[in-house]
């Protein structure tokens, strides 16, 4: 004979409507969490793509300079006042003096504002513009005809988003470092290996 279990007198179970409300609330909370997660992943990938694009241009123009026996100058402009300007330009410099004035020829301009999520420079390495507390900041470097940098220290360029910079969040920051001797570009995500 089967035993039947009965609820104690005076108590009742959950109604169907109560269960539907709980399931609905759980679904809403889950969808918010998933949307937040994917937005964070998208921000991080946009920043990494901007750094990767910079690295690709650095390698391209470094090799082009070696092949043509000329210099390419990378010039960065950062302005934190509105409208913010975060861009870098690449100049062909036949004289190899690092100048972007004539007779240099503008080859490429990359505006970080073209990326989603207001991608910007987090800071420009080498002690120059290490904080964006200044209103305008600039940095330039160039590759010598043999592919070496014009300076004896590595160059580090940091990429982040405006929202993450304002919030002090370094987790989405990516650093592109150019080795001064080899010209090799390394990309590091802060979240994976804090520097």
pTM (two decimals): 0.70
pLDDT at 26 (0 to 100): 94
Q: Note the pLDDT of residue 123.
A: 58
CA distance linking residue 66 with residue 122, whole number of Å: 30
pLDDT value at position 96?
A: 83
Per-10-residue mean pLDDT of the chain, 195 residues long, equals 63 81 93 76 84 92 91 79 71 83 83 81 50 52 85 82 77 84 86 61
Show the domains of the chain with their CATH numbers: 16-189 (3.55.40.10)
Candidates 125, 65, 67; CA nearest to 90 is: 65
**What's the pLDDT at 102?**
65
Contacts (Cβ under 8 Å, ≥6 apart) of 112? 50, 86, 87, 119, 120, 121, 159
């Amino acid at each position: 004979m089967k035993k039947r279990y009965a609820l104690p007198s005076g108590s009742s179970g959950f109604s169907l409507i109560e269960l539907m409300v709980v399931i609905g609330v759980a679904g809403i909370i889950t969808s918010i969490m998933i949307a937040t997660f994917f937005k964070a992943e998208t921000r991080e990938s946009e920043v990494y793509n901007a750094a990767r694009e910079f690295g690709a241009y650095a390698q391209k123009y470094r090799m082009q300079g070696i092949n043509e026996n000329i210099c390419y100058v990378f010039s960065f402009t950062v302005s934190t006042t509105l409208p913010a300007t975060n861009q870098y330009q690449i100049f062909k410099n036949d004289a190899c003096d690092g100048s972007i004035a004539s007779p240099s020829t503008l080859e490429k301009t990359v505006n970080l504002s073209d990326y989603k999520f207001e991608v910007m420079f987090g800071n420009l390495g080498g002690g120059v513009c290490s904080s964006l507390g200044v209103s305008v900041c600039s940095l330039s470097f160039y590759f010598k005809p043999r592919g070496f940098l014009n300076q004896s220290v590595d160059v580090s360029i940091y990429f982040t988003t405006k929202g993450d910079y304002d919030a002090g969040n370094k987790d989405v920051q990516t650093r592109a470092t150019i080795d001064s001797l080899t010209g090799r570009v390394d990309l590091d995500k802060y979240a994976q290996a804090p520097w």
